A and B are shown apart, each in its own frame.
Chain A
Amino acid sequence: MERNNRSVKLLIGLGVVLLILLGRLFYVQIINESYKTNADNNSMTREMIYPPRGVIYDRNGLLLVGNRTCYDIMVTPRLVTELDTLALAEALDTTADFVRERMQYYHNYRSRIGWQTLTFLKQIDADTYMRFAEEQFRFPGFKGQVRTMREYPFNAGGNLLGYTSEVSAEYLAEHPEYRAGDYYGRTGLEAARENELRGKKGWHIYQRDSRGRTKDPYKGGEFDMEAEPGKDIVTTIDARLQQYGQQLMNGKKGSLVAIEPSTGEILTMVSSPGIDVSVLAEFGRHYDRLSRDKNKPLYNRAVSASYPPGSVFKLVNGLVGLEDGVLEPWMQYPCNNGYVYTSSGRKLGCHSHRSPLNLEDAVMMSCNGYFCYVFKNILENPKYANTEEAYDHWREMVMSFGFGRQLGSDFPSELSGNIPSSAFYNRYYRKGHWRFPTIVSLSIGQGEILTTPLQIANLAAIMANRGYYYIPHVVKASDGVEIDPKYYERQYTLVDTLQFPKVIRGMWKAVNAIGEGGTANVGHVPGLNICGKTGTAQNPHGKDNSVFICFAPMDNPKIAVAAYIENAGFGASWACPIATLLIEQYLNGEVSAGRKDLEHRVLNTKLIR
């Protein structure tokens, strides 16, 4: 029968293929000797070679994170013939009970363990290991394995650098390329650059003789795999400046961020109170205490906290007004201790100053009333049919400054802050039922606006660059480490470069026009031409937050800084001194004699318990 004939042919084909597979198996398993191991089938032993983790440098080549050699003691229980428990405990600087307990455990699970090599004791320091190594011949089955631990020669950037720890079961489940006992970066840069830092594990395969002693490399090392060291990371951080920033912020709660405007490189990023590098190496031991601290030192406020920006936001509103053509630098508006925005006489208050003011002086003196008029002009611009449309336009302009969205820095856990959408107000007040007076507090950076300290620092960089920024980042491209090309691209705001000098003059006067009522005179450093803007943001949890952004020098700026200090009062009282001291230190390399008292006051005042 023809049909049956075909099924027989197919079955013969099946048989032939199965025979080929079996024949190959027979060859590989029985005939060919090159895949064989010797009689006891356990002649090969592998030694893992752990690559050193890449180290981390600051922008000037100072070592921020280095490596220290330590040893793990490994044991192959099957090879342990006789054991002098006491001697081993002594050699390893541990207790006899510990050794006994481990050996009992290996004995209980001997069938499951088989010929595997397990970790007996972790992270022995080099001295102890040397003692052990001298006597190693007395402990068959035990051997040392080189590992590395993190070391921090410079006390800078605890929160920024992050810490490493042994992989957890959950992490292993998601990352099969790791093995139990491996280390990985948990937070900060260690986590963000894990792929570069970790390197590649390697191994050597040795032949074992019949008594279990390691002899020659197996097949002349043909199957060995060399470890590939992790790549080193060069950060944009200036370690000395970072350290000085940490000292300035000591005892204060908040953030201090400095950016190089011409590149977007973050020079300093302080979150205070933060973690000291001394706890990073053995983070596990400190974790409990740190996680319970009410000041939350583990939390990187610079990117993960969002606050109302306060008066520094007036810069943005002023620029949007200028760009829209609803504000001119010569325009003067009156302010009599505030701005009355409802017919019933509700008033947004302001401090006492001369009136009326033009734009430059309004920036210098941080007049609330003036910027209420500006925001009113923006929202009631006849170009737009209604408040909602005008608001949407304003929001688009504001978001081009990097607010209300993640900046896309290379740092993990960056928050986006919030610039509320018109949809939000439509929900909250009903469509058509909100107008300028309803949201008047946005004029001065209060209300629903939330920004991160990094975004405010970025605003300082935008002012310095007159209209564009580079996405702030902490990793520099270096040998073998690439960074996303987006960090080299200028990000333009929707405000023309020509509008910026009109506002910047006010920023210059705020700091440098002594005796004219500028809010930031305390930050004046002769010769540096710092331009700045203070902010005093309301904080529902107590005293106002003290805010200051600045850049220097005025022409061709080298550094842009934002300081945000929680519950510290006026912008001029703490944020301005801290930010300008940082600038002075960076540009001049020292603090001038005239400002030593100020520095002393900042360094030695603790605002939090």
Chain B
Amino acid sequence: MEQGFLDRGLKKTVDWRLIVVYLIIMLFGWINIYAAVRSGEPSSIFDLSFNCGKQALWIAGAIVIAAMILFVINPFTWESICKPAYGIVLVLLVAVIFLSSNVKGSHSWFELGPVKFQPAELSKITTSLLLSYVMSLPGFKISKWNHLLLALAIVLLPMLVIVAESETGSALVYVGFIFVLYREGLSGWWIALMGIAILLFIVTLKTSWWVSLVLTAVFVVIYLVYYLRRVGSLRFRRAVIRNGILGFVAGVMLVFATDVFFNSVLKDYQRERIEVVLGIKEDLRGVGYNVHQSLIAIGSGGLFGKGYLHGTQTTFGFVPEQSTDFIFCTVGEEWGFVGCLFVIALYGLLIFWLIQDAERARVHFTRIYGYCVAACFFMHLAINIGMTLGLMPVIGIPLPLFSYGGSSLWAFTVLLFIFVALDRQEKKYF
């Protein structure tokens, strides 16, 4: 290790681009939290009775953690502890259901005196590690059913427990792992089928069941025409026809299950949130109120925004969860379209460079893990900003590294820096 360190120094082995983007996102988030929580009398950004002051402490802690992962902890540790870590976090996830206090209807927070943390945050890390470990084992082939099932089980297990914690939003992030599986050879049909299922769900709710049925039929016909036009063996043709019929039956079942799922399985508030997003229900004072206030705040920002600390919508507390889930409103209002573009570009670059580094990695574990990290960032980004823009139902998950909150900030720091450390290892030896 010493040898490698001498050969290729920090400057060349660490991907500084990621670290710079990381720091910018975190600090920009911090000053926006200050803008969001400051109310009435002026106060210092370090005032510990406000979220912004506390965030300063969290950020300091995050930087210490990042440095530890980068310089102190042996990067090979992660691969070796992934199994017990996954197990422990899974136990914590289950335990929190019984031991936690009820925060807005969900049982997902551990409270240790003044410190609160969500095991669901840790679980993103351990799930990514174990998934990368399993999928990088020699002989792993995603085309084999049992291998695919194992990979799915690793993702679905924590996901289901989190749903049981009534944290459906956090669970949704795990859907992102399908992109990792896709990268490692899962058929693109899976993603297509998922997309079609979501489309049918929406169409059924927005119009009516028979429109969905027609749509299903159209999809099946397209599929059949596309494949049957090609020249193929009889067996191939039979398989295509069988798939087509199965697909149609599944589509019909989905359409009718939608009704049951929507009206019986979902809780009232979840149903309402979806109805508001789909425009089925106008509700400016209840559920839709948050989104409407959020849109007013963002919309009033215009091209260049009202200027830092000059927002009028956000400082009055009309937007709920100002410093956490709806922090993007502050950016929209005070920094305008330009500021939003800046933030989205930062995340875009972060994810792009993550994928780029992952693709360059020679160790499969590093590559797969890099994709996992990218997927987590992507899902959070898309869901959170989509929510503030009214494109997604109100799902309470933070904007990574940006929103107020220690447990989320630290978890994303660990998630990201494990990759930076692994990636550094690549460059040190090859």
Flag if B385 contacts A46 (CB, 8 Å).
no
Does B143 sit at the interface, judged by CB under 8 A?
A: no
Encoded as 1 (CB less than 8 Å from any B CB) or 0, chain A from 11 to 34 comes to 101110110111011101110101
Shortest Cβ gap from A234 to chain B (Å):
29
Nearest 5 pairs of A and B residues by beta carbon: A35-B299, A112-B42, A29-B337, A109-B42, A114-B310
Q: Is the beta-carbon distance between B352 and A37 smaller than 8 angstroms?
A: no
* Residue A342, interface by CB 8 Å: no
B344 touching A46, Cβ below 8 Å: no
Known: A29-B302, A35-B300. A14 touches B352 (CB 8 A): yes
The answer to whether A35 and B298 touch (CB under 8 A), given A118-B40, A223-B292, is yes
- Output the residue of B40, B42, B311, B347 with the most chain A CB within 10 A: B42
Cβ contacts B266-301/A at 8 Å (1 or 0 each): 000000000000000000110000001101101111
Could you say which residues of chain B place their CB within 8 Å of the CB of A26?
337
Task: List CB contacts (< 8 Å) of A22-72 with chain B.
Answer: 22, 24-26, 28-30, 32, 34-37, 41-42, 44, 46
Minimum distance in angstroms from A349 CB to a CB of chain B: 51
Indicate if B309 sits at the interface (CB-CB under 8 A).
yes
CB distance from A238 to the nearest CB of B (A): 37
Q: Which of A2-10, A284-292, A409-417, A588-596 contacts B (4 or more CB under 8 A)?
A: A2-10
- Please determine whether B183 and A18 come into contact, CB atoms closer than 8 angstroms: no
Given A36, A41, A116, which contacts B40 in the complex, CB threshold below 8 Å?
A: A116
Give the contacts of B38-71 with A (CB-CB under 8 A): 38-42, 49-50
- A-chain residues with CB within 8 Å of residue B318 when the two chains form the complex: 46, 203
Q: Does A82 contact B (CB under 8 A)?
A: no
Within 8 A of B (CB), among A159-205: 169-170, 172-173, 179-181, 203
Q: Does A111 contact B (CB under 8 A)?
A: yes
Identify which of residues 8-50 in chain B touch chain A, using a CB-to-CB cut-off of 8 Å.
38-42, 49-50
The chain B residue sitting closest to A13, CB to CB, is B179
Is B49 a contact of A21 with CB atoms below 8 Å? no
Residues in chain A within 8 A of chain B (CB atoms): 3-4, 6-7, 9-11, 13-15, 17-18, 20-22, 24-26, 28-30, 32, 34-37, 41-42, 44, 46, 109, 111-116, 118-119, 169-170, 172-173, 179-181, 203, 222-223, 225
**Given B40, B315, B352, B385, which contacts A21 in the complex, CB threshold below 8 Å?**
B385
Across the interface, do A41 and B389 meet the contact criterion of CB distance under 8 Å? Answer: no
B391 at the interface (CB under 8 A from A): yes
Contact residues on B (Cβ < 8 Å of other chain), bracket: 35 or more
CB-nearest residue of chain B to A20 = B391
Nearest A-chain residue to B182, judged by Cβ: A6
Contacts of B292 in A (CB 8 A): 223
Q: Residue B250 at the A interface, CB < 8 A?
A: no
Give the chain A neighbours of B352 by CB distance below 8 A: 11, 14
In the assembled complex, the CB of A517 is this many whole angstroms from the nearest CB of chain B, namely 58
* A residues in contact with B348, CB < 8 Å: 14-15, 18
Q: What is the distance, in angstroms, from B362's C-beta to the closest C-beta of chain A?
A: 13
The CA of A66 and the CA of B425, in the complex, are separated in Å by: 72
> By CB atoms of chain A within 10 A, which of B39, B284, B312 has the most?
B312
Roughly how many angstroms separate A109 CA and B301 CA in the complex, as a whole number? 23
Assembly CA distance A432 to B369 (angstroms): 66
Across the interface, B299 reaches (CB within 8 A) one of A6, A28, A114, namely: A28
Is B182 in contact with A10, judged by CB distance below 8 angstroms? Answer: yes
Known contacts A35-B295, A46-B318, A179-B39; is-contact A21 B312 (Cβ 8 Å): no
- Is B378 interfacial (CB-CB < 8 Å)? yes
Chain A residues, CB < 8 A from B347: 18
B332 at the interface (CB under 8 A from A): yes
- Chain B residues with CB under 8 Å of A30's CB are 302-303, 337
Q: Is B359 an interface residue (CB 8 A)?
A: yes
Contacts of B40 in A (CB 8 A): 116, 118-119, 179-181
Q: Whole-angstrom distance between the alpha carbons of A123 and B316 in the complex?
A: 21
How far, in angstroms, from A77 to B301 measured CA to CA in the complex? Answer: 22
- Residues in B whose Cβ lies below 8 Å from that of A13: 179
Known: A41-B300, A119-B40. A6 touches B183 (CB 8 A): yes
Q: How far is the CB of B31 from chain A (nearest CB, A)?
A: 13
A119 proximity list for chain B (CB < 8 A): 40
Write out, one digit per residue, whether chain B residues 87-107 have a CB within 8 A of any chain A CB (1) or not (0): 000000000000000000000
Q: B306 is contacted by which of A18, A41, A179 (Cβ under 8 Å)?
A: A41
Query: Which residues of chain A come closer than 8 Å to B317, judged between CB atoms?
Result: 179
B344 near A29: Cβ-Cβ < 8 Å: no
Question: Inside 8 A of A36's CB, which chain B residues have their CB?
Answer: 299-300, 302
Is B340 at the interface (CB under 8 A from chain A)? Answer: yes
Q: Could you give, for residues 384-424 of chain B, a 1 whenever the CB lies within 8 Å of some chain A CB and a 0 otherwise? A: 01100101000000000000000000000000000000000
B414 to chain A, nearest CB (A): 23
Cβ of B130 under 8 Å from chain A: no
18 residue pairs A–B, Cβ–Cβ below 8 Å: A7-B359, A10-B182, A14-B378, A22-B344, A25-B389, A29-B299, A32-B299, A35-B300, A36-B299, A36-B300, A46-B316, A111-B309, A114-B310, A114-B315, A173-B49, A180-B40, A223-B293, A225-B285
